[in-house]
Chain A
């Protein structure tokens, strides 16, 4: 009986994940073009050798790792700050909770466009304010060079995903029993002590879960980079690199090999995290 209820869902999941995944594995060992002209042929590890010797691929790995490290770290810290504030009693708390959800609900394409407009070199609000305050000598073309574009892109991601982080952490904070704080207050603990000895250790399990979710998400970032810098070679992430192999070069073989490489990369992160979190729970 139970299996009949599960079957339709399992079938759909197999259709959209299992079947394409098998195809990706097979194609990664084939020369297969989507132009409909080149006949497919088996090429062994050629696609993998091509990627691993392609400096553009390694550059995209590097960009992805930098992006992931900075955006996830900043999101954790800011998320915790927002969660602590939202967990306090004060007037307008509900308003704050709704306000932090707004960036999360906005489509990534839209938030990327909004920030691209804010950082527009001539009419953008950031340049106008900074130039008026004489912080910068002349207006900057923020998104034209990687040195300034990457921080802006990280800022967009932080803006968009900190709400998710703070909501998860807030849920974690609400699981902490209030009498622990009362006991600590009776013992004369300062607010700072309470934070480091009570709040932080007790919220760590939630923080780790949120960290895993966010890292996996950040490693496959596509939308923000594609919109903000148009997938320029020097600013491509692995996902952008992958999509270009497929769409611009119509190369399903190299595209599939890239896809599987990304999947393995991400699985390595999952294993490291689960090891790490198991160790920290003991």
Chain B
């Protein structure tokens, strides 16, 4: 927009140089890890900058590792259930907040916004004891319950914005025909907020998939750990040097699906992220 004004070749060169620096800074660590994950150990642990050999050794190793495979399954279950529960309960609540008139709506909305910024660490010990009392300590269900702390308020907030942005005439006709609010929600509004559901669902999934503090604190056995915990605790057969090849391969296995999601849904993700903040 503005860069069109200055046609000076020097400025154009500097501008593209800046673009190149931004790209290298953003992409290099990821690409370096990707290349490292394909370098066999004897090549990886050399001081050569360029790989002399590439192979799938580390990927075979991590997929033979029962602990890692189990953690992948756990992460999928935990993140998936968290998303489904927060979308189901959150969008009902957001529908009421965004479309229906009722008393104390403003305080409820304000409370939701405050909750989106609530620091999880400040209820860590309370959750720890609560999970023990409920018998949910060291279980996937327990993790799902605690993950709702950050996914629910966020889902409600963003979905409320989506419901609000739909034109009023949509449901008025349906109400005239005698439809109930639930029918209006299911048959008219929910299909229209599908983009919003995709955005918030993706963001909630990424947040739950990446969560570390709760997973580290509330699980103890290998059968219940999620992927970030296992990646943080990777240790080799010899304790002398960490198995960097396996760590990088495991890292890529959990990251590449996210990168692909980001590439496909770039527009939706940005819309969800900024709806959570800029409109606030």
What are the residues of chain A within 8 A of B32 when measuring CB–CB? 114, 118, 125
Q: How far is the CB of B272 from chain A (nearest CB, A)?
A: 10
Q: Which of B1, B148, B232, B278 contacts A88 (CB 8 A)?
A: B1
* A99 B27 Cβ-Cβ under 8 A: yes
Q: Which residue of A lies closest to B29 (CB)?
A: A114
* A-facing residues in B1-41 (Cβ within 8 Å): 1-6, 15-16, 18-19, 22-23, 25-27, 29-30, 32-33, 36
Binds A, one of B53-61, B168-176, B192-200, B205-213: B205-213
What are the residues of chain B within 8 A of A20 when measuring CB–CB? 123, 126-127, 129-130
Per-residue contact bits, chain B 102-132, to A (CB 8 Å; 1 contact, 0 not): 1000001000000101111111111111101
* A259 B244 Cβ-Cβ under 8 A: no
Per-residue contact bits, chain A 85-98, to B (CB 8 Å; 1 contact, 0 not): 10111101010111
Per-residue contact bits, chain B 72-95, to A (CB 8 Å; 1 contact, 0 not): 000000000000010001101101
Q: Which residue of B lies closest to A245 (CB)?
A: B125
**In this assembly, does B156 line the interface, its C-beta being within 8 Å of a C-beta of chain A?**
yes
Count residues on chain B whose CB falls below 8 Å from chain A CBs. Answer: 92
Decide: A16 near B149, CB < 8 A? Known: A5-B92, A5-B96, A102-B262: yes
**In this assembly, does A146 line the interface, its C-beta being within 8 Å of a C-beta of chain B?**
no
What are the residues of chain A within 8 A of B118 when measuring CB–CB? 17
* A12 B266 Cβ-Cβ under 8 A: no
* B274 A168 Cβ-Cβ under 8 A: yes
* B123 A103 Cβ-Cβ under 8 A: no
B27, B102, B118, B119 interface centre (most CB from chain A within 10 Å): B119
Q: Which of B22, B49, B153, B254 contacts A110 (CB 8 A)?
A: B254
* B44 A123 Cβ-Cβ under 8 A: yes
A-B contact count (CB 8 A): 277
Q: Which residue of B lies closest to A195 (CB)?
A: B2
A8, A23, A107, A159 interface centre (most CB from chain B within 10 Å): A107
* A102 B30 Cβ-Cβ under 8 A: yes
Per the bound structure, the CA–CA distance linking A96 and B25 in Å amounts to 12
**In this assembly, does B270 line the interface, its C-beta being within 8 Å of a C-beta of chain A?**
yes
* B93 A103 Cβ-Cβ under 8 A: no
* A108 B212 Cβ-Cβ under 8 A: yes
Decide: A105 near B26, CB < 8 A? Known: A24-B123, A181-B1: no
Q: How far is the CB of A244 from chain B (nearest CB, A)?
A: 11
Q: How far is the CB of B3 from chain A (nearest CB, A)?
A: 4
Q: Which residue of A lies closest to B213 (CB)?
A: A222
* A128 B258 Cβ-Cβ under 8 A: no
**In this assembly, does B236 line the interface, its C-beta being within 8 Å of a C-beta of chain A?**
no
B interface: dominant SS: helix
**In this assembly, does B178 line the interface, its C-beta being within 8 Å of a C-beta of chain A?**
no
Per-residue contact bits, chain B 121-152, to A (CB 8 Å; 1 contact, 0 not): 11111111110100000000000011011001
Per the bound structure, the CA–CA distance linking A233 and B2 in Å amounts to 50
Binds B, one of A49-57, A66-74, A208-216: A208-216
Q: Which of B90, B206, B247, B277 contacts A213 (CB 8 A)?
A: B277
Residue contacts A-B, CB under 8 angstroms, 27 given: A2-B100, A2-B101, A5-B93, A6-B96, A9-B89, A9-B156, A12-B152, A13-B152, A17-B115, A21-B122, A21-B123, A23-B125, A82-B22, A88-B1, A90-B16, A102-B30, A107-B254, A108-B212, A114-B30, A117-B33, A123-B244, A167-B273, A181-B2, A191-B6, A259-B123, A259-B124, A259-B125
Q: Which residues of A contact B (CB under 8 A)?
A: 1-3, 5-6, 8-10, 12-13, 15-17, 19-24, 27, 34, 81-82, 85, 87-90, 92, 94, 96-111, 113-115, 117-118, 120, 122-123, 125, 128-129, 132, 159, 163-164, 167-168, 171-172, 175, 178, 181, 185, 191, 194, 206, 209-210, 212-213, 216, 219-220, 222-223, 226-227, 238-239, 242-243, 246-247, 252, 255-256, 259-260, 262-263, 266, 270
Q: What are the nearest 4 A-B pairs in CB distance?
A: A20-B126, A9-B93, A107-B210, A23-B126
Given contact pairs A226-B216, A239-B213, a sample of 7 additional A-B residue pairs in the complex whose CB atoms are under 8 Å apart:
A6-B97, A102-B262, A103-B30, A107-B210, A125-B49, A227-B232, A266-B119
Q: Which residues of B contact A (CB under 8 A)?
A: 1-6, 15-16, 18-19, 22-23, 25-27, 29-30, 32-33, 36, 44-47, 49, 85, 89-90, 92-93, 95-97, 100-102, 108, 115, 117-130, 132, 145-146, 148-149, 152-153, 156, 181, 206, 209-210, 212-213, 216-217, 227-229, 231-232, 244, 247-248, 251, 254-255, 258-259, 261-263, 266, 269-270, 273-274, 277-278, 280
